[in-house]
Structure 1
Amino acid sequence: MTGVIETPEASDKTGAKQIVHDVEDPPLPSSAGSPDIGPIVTEHEQQNLIRGLSQRHVQMIAIAGAIVRGFPNPGTGLFLGLGGSIATGGPLGALLGYLFVGLIVCAIQFALGEVSALLPVTGSFVRHAEILVDPALAFAIGWNIVYGCFISVPSEISAGVVLIQYWTDINAAVWVTILIVVSVVVAISFIGVYGEVEFIFAILKILLVIFVVILGLVIDLGGIPGKPRLGFHYWKDPGPFVEYISTGSWGHFLGFWAVMTNAVYSFAGVESLAMAAAETKNPRHNIPKACKRVFARVTIFYLAAVLIVGMLVSSADDRLSDESGTAAQSPFVIAAGDAGIKAIPSIVNAVCLTSAWSASNQSILAGTRTLYGLALKGHAPQIFLRTTKWGVPYMCVLLQVAFSLLAYMCVSNNALTVFWWFVDLTAAGTLVSWICIALNHIRLLQALKKQGISPDALPWHNRITRYTSWFALIACVVILFTGGFTVFTKGNWYTASFVSSYLDIPLVLCAYGGYKAIRRTKIIPLDVVPLRQALYEAENDPENVPLKKDSLLSKMNILWG
Structure 2
Amino acid sequence: MVNTAYGEKIADDSKEATPTDLAPDVEEGTHEPQKLSRGLQGRHMQMIAIGGSIGAGLFVGSGSSLQSGGPASLLLGFIIIGVMLLCTVQALGELAVLYPVNGAFYVYGVRFIDPAWGFAMGWQYAIGWLITLPFEITAAGLTIDYWHHYNIGIWIAVFLTTLIIVQFFGVKGYGEVEFVLGIIKIIAVLGFIIFGIVVDCGGVPGDDRGYIGFRYWADTEHGNRAFRNGFKGFCSVFVNAAFAFGGTELVGLAAAEAANPRKSLPKATKQVFWRITGFYVVSLLIMGLIVPNSSPDLLNSSGANTKASPFVLAIEYAGVKGLPSVFNAVITISVMSVANSCTYGSTRTMQALAQGGMGPKFLSWIDKKGRPVWPVIIQMAFGLLAFINEAETGSTVFNWLLALTGLSSFFVWGSICLSHIRFRAGWKAAGRSLDDLPFRSQVGVYGSYLGLFLVVCSLAATFYVDLFPIGGTPTGGAESFFEGYIAAPIAITLFVFWKLWTRDRGFLVKVHEMDLDTGRRDFQDIPADEDPEPRNMSVGRRVSRALF
TM-score normalised over the length of structure 2? 0.86
> Which ranges in structure 1 are unaligned for 5 or more consecutive residues?
1-11, 15-25, 29-37, 69-75, 245-250, 550-554
After superposition, residues 382-421 of structure 1 pair within 5 angstroms as: 382-421=361-400
Partner of 1:114: 94
Shift of 1:471: 1.1
Name the counterpart of 2:183: 203
Within a 5 Å distance, the mapping from 1:11-160 to structure 2 comes to 28=27, 43-44=31-32, 47-68=34-55, 76-160=56-140
Aligned partner letter, 1:171: N
CA contact (8 A) 1:79 1:352 kept: yes
Contact 1:426 1:500 in 2 (8 A): no
Which of the residues 476, 500, 511 maps onto 1:526? 511
CA RMSD of superposed structures (Å) = 2.7
Q: Determine the C-alpha separation between the residues in 2 that align with 1:411 and 1:206.
A: 34
Residues 364 and 463 of structure 1: CA distance in aligned 2, closer, same or farther (over 3 Å): closer
In 2, Cα distance between equivalents of 1:444 and 1:558: 25
Give the Cα–Cα distance (whole angstroms) in 2 for the partners of residues 395 and 78 of structure 1.
Answer: 32
SS at match of 2:236: helix
1:545: Cα distance to partner?
5.1
Classify the secondary structure of the residue corresponding to 1:165. Answer: helix
**3-state SS, counterpart of residue 427 of structure 1:** coil
Q: Which moved more, 1:459-468 or 1:395-404?
A: 459-468
1:440 maps to which residue? 419
Note closer, same or farther for the CA distance 1:478–1:509 as it changes in structure 2 (3 Å cut). same
Change (3 A) 1:396 1:534: closer
Cα distance per residue 1:506-560 (max 9 Å; x no partner): 11111112211221344321112122556564546899953599xxxxx99999x
Q: Cα–Cα, structure 1 residues 507 and 166, in superposed 2: closer, same or farther, change >3 Å? A: same
Matched, 1:312 2:300: no
Q: Is 1:488–2:473 an aligned residue pair?
A: no
Q: 1:292 aligns with which of 270, 274, 277?
A: 270
State the SS of the aligned residue for 1:349.
Answer: helix
* Matched-pair contact (CA < 8 Å) for 1:95–1:306: yes
Indicate the SS of the match to 1:372: helix
Instruction: Give the match for residue 489 of structure 2.
Output: 506
Shift of the alpha carbon at 1:322?
5.1
Q: Distance in 2 between matches of 1:322 and 1:426?
A: 20
Counterpart residue type for residue 207 of structure 1: I
- For 1:186 and 1:319, the matched residues in 2 are separated by 36
Which residue pairs with 2:17 in the alignment? none
Which whole-Å deviations, capped at 9, do the CAs of 1:96-153 have from their partners, x for residues lacking one?
A: 1111111111111111101111110111101111222222122111111111111111
2:194 corresponds to: 214
Distance 1:396 1:528, change over 3 A: same
CA distance in 1 between counterparts of 2:478 and 2:391 reads: 22
Amino acid at match of 2:36: L
Query: Which letter maps to 1:93?
Result: S
CA distance in 2 between partners of 1:403 and 1:529 (Å):
36
Question: Which position in structure 1 is the counterpart of 2:247?
Answer: 269
Secondary structure, in 3 states, of the residue corresponding to 1:50?
A: coil
Q: Give distance in 1, aligned partners of 2:360 and 2:306.
A: 42
Residues 108 and 438 of structure 1 are in contact (CA less than 8 Å); yes or no, is this contact kept in structure 2?
yes
Task: Check whether the contact 1:121–1:276 (CA below 8 A) recurs between aligned residues.
Answer: no
- Letter matched to residue 337 of structure 2: S
1:424-456 alpha-carbon deviations (Å, 9 max, x no partner): 122111101111111110111111222222222
What SS does the corresponding residue of 1:49 show, helix, strand or coil? Answer: coil
Paired residues of 1:326 and 1:349 also in contact (CA < 8 A): no
> In structure 2, what is the Cα distance between the partners aligned to 1:541 and 1:535?
15
Instruction: For 2:295 and 2:148, locate their aligned partners in 1 and report how far apart those are by CA, in whole Å.
Output: 28
Which residue in 2 is equivalent to 1:357?
336
Match of 2:327 among 326, 344, 348: 348
Q: Report the CA distance between 1:43 and its aligned residue.
A: 4.0
Contact 2:65 2:237 in 1 (8 A): yes
Instruction: Report the CA distance shift for 1:393/1:203 in structure 2 as closer, same or farther (over 3 A).
Output: same
Which ranges of structure 2 fall in alignment gaps of 5 or more residues?
1-11, 15-24, 535-542
Q: Give the conservation status (yes or no) of the 8 Å contact 2:439–2:533.
A: no
- Cα drift, residue 392 of structure 1: 0.7
Q: 1:519 to 1:557 in 2, by over 3 A?
A: closer
| Contact preservation (8 Å) 1:166, 1:326 | no
Residue 229 (structure 1) aligned with residue 207 (structure 2)? no
Cα separation, 2, equivalents of 1:147 and 1:51: 25
Distance 1:374 1:221, change over 3 A: same
Identical residues among aligned pairs (%): 35
Q: Is the 8 A contact 1:64 1:358 kept in 2?
A: no
CA distance in 2, matches of 1:331, 1:190: 35
Q: Would the alpha carbon gap of residues 336 and 169 (structure 1) be closer, same or farther in structure 2, given more than 3 Å must change? A: closer
Name the CA shift for 1:533/1:428 in 2 (closer, same or farther; >3 Å). closer
Q: 1:160 to 1:81 in 2, by over 3 A?
A: same
Q: Deviations over 1:312-348 (max 9, x none)?
A: 0222222221537444212232222222112122112
Which residue does 2:22 correspond to in 1? none
Other structure's SS at 2:249 match: helix
Distance 1:488 1:295 in 2: 31
Distance in 2 between residues matched to 1:472 and 1:219, nearest whole Å: 36
Q: Secondary structure at the match of 1:229?
A: coil
Distance 2:529 2:333 in 1: 35
Q: Could you say which residue in structure 2 is the equivalent of 1:33?
A: none
Contact 2:65–2:240 at 8 Å: present in 1 too?
yes
1:302 to 276, 280, 283: 280
Q: Distance in 2 between matches of 1:354 and 1:259?
A: 24
> Structure 2 vs 1, CA of residues 450 and 517 (structure 1 numbering), >3 Å: closer, same or farther?
same
Q: Does 1:187 align with 2:167?
A: yes
Please report how far the alpha carbon of residue 285 of structure 1 lies from its aligned counterpart in structure 2 after TM superposition.
Answer: 2.9
Paired positions, count: 506
Aligned to 1:373: 352
**One-letter code aligned to 2:258:** T
- The structure-2 alpha-carbon separation of the partners of 1:416 and 1:83, relative to structure 1 and needing over 3 Å to count, comes to closer
Contact 1:118 1:459 survives alignment (8 Å): yes
